[in-house]
């Protein structure tokens, strides 16, 4: 009887200890899993916010270059509405009576999936607009200026 009682007590102690260890392991796994889920939700939330930000940024809605040309007495003014962070991507060339404007945008998206694999997407977009003006221009005298959302090119006449 006494031996059975000791074995039963020993079994209950071992079982209680194993149950406690397993509960701790399950608790740690649950905490780790919950943290990973929160991290994934945060990453995808950031990605969603970036995407929504792009949708609200008028730059990402530009589908064509629409310059306004003003013919002044001794020069031409070419004005284009463009967001400030993209002003350096617009180029203008003036030769004889021809004006060419181009804008090159590059997009890069980087993502890491749930398995840790990294994905990178690149694309570029080029917009061009060419037109003629009545008088010959001095191609060496193009002056660029940006003020309050408007990129202005001043081109002297010959």
Are 73 and 40 in the same domain?
Answer: no
pLDDT of residue 147: 94
Residue 60 DSSP code: G
- pLDDT tens digits for 112-156? 877 888 888 888 889 999 999 999 999 898 999 999 889 999 999
Same domain, 80 and 148: yes
Q: Is pLDDT at 109 greater than 60 in this prediction?
A: yes
**Are 8 and 72 in a shared domain?**
no
Q: Are 80 and 151 in contact (CB under 8 A)?
A: yes
pLDDT beyond 70 at 58: no
Nearest to 103 by CA among 113, 112, 91: 91
Predicted TM-score (pTM) of this structure? 0.58
Domain that holds residue 46: 1-56
Number of domains in the chain: 2
Same domain for 77 and 101? Answer: yes
Contact 106, 122 (CB under 8 A): yes
Total residue count of the chain as it appears in this document:
158
Query: Which CATH number fits the domain that encloses residue 141?
Result: 2.60.40.790
pLDDT in tens, 66-78: 899 999 999 999 9
Q: Name the band, by pLDDT with cuts 50, 70 and 90, for residue 23.
A: very high
Q: What is the pLDDT of residue 125?
A: 86
* pLDDT higher than 70, residue 61: no
Residue 27's pLDDT is what? 96
What count of Cα atoms within 13 Å lies in the side-chain half-sphere of residue 62?
Answer: 22
Q: What percent of the chain has pLDDT over 90?
A: 59
Q: How far apart are CA 133 and CA 20, in angstroms?
A: 85
The residue that leads in pLDDT, 57 or 5, is 5
Q: What integer pLDDT is reported at residue 34 of this predicted model?
A: 95
- 2 with 73, same domain? no
Query: Are 40 and 116 in a shared domain?
Result: no
């Amino acid at each position: 009887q006494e031996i059975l009682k000791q074995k039963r007590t020993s079994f209950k102690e071992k079982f209680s200890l194993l149950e406690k260890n397993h509960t701790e392991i399950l608790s740690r796994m649950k905490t780790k899993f919950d943290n990973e889920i929160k991290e994934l939700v945060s990453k995808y939330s950031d990605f969603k916010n970036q995407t929504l930000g792009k949708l609200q940024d008028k730059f990402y809605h530009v589908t064509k270059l629409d310059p306004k040309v003003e013919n002044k007495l001794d020069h031409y003014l070419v004005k284009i509405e463009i967001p400030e962070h993209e002003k350096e991507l617009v180029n203008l060339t003036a030769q004889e009576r021809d004006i060419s404007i181009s804008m090159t945008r590059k997009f890069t998206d980087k993502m890491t999936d749930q398995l840790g694999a990294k994905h990178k997407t690149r694309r570029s977009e080029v917009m061009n607009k060419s037109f003629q003006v009545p008088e010959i221009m001095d191609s060496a005298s193009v002056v660029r200026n940006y003020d309050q959302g408007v990129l202005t090119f001043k081109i002297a006449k010959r």
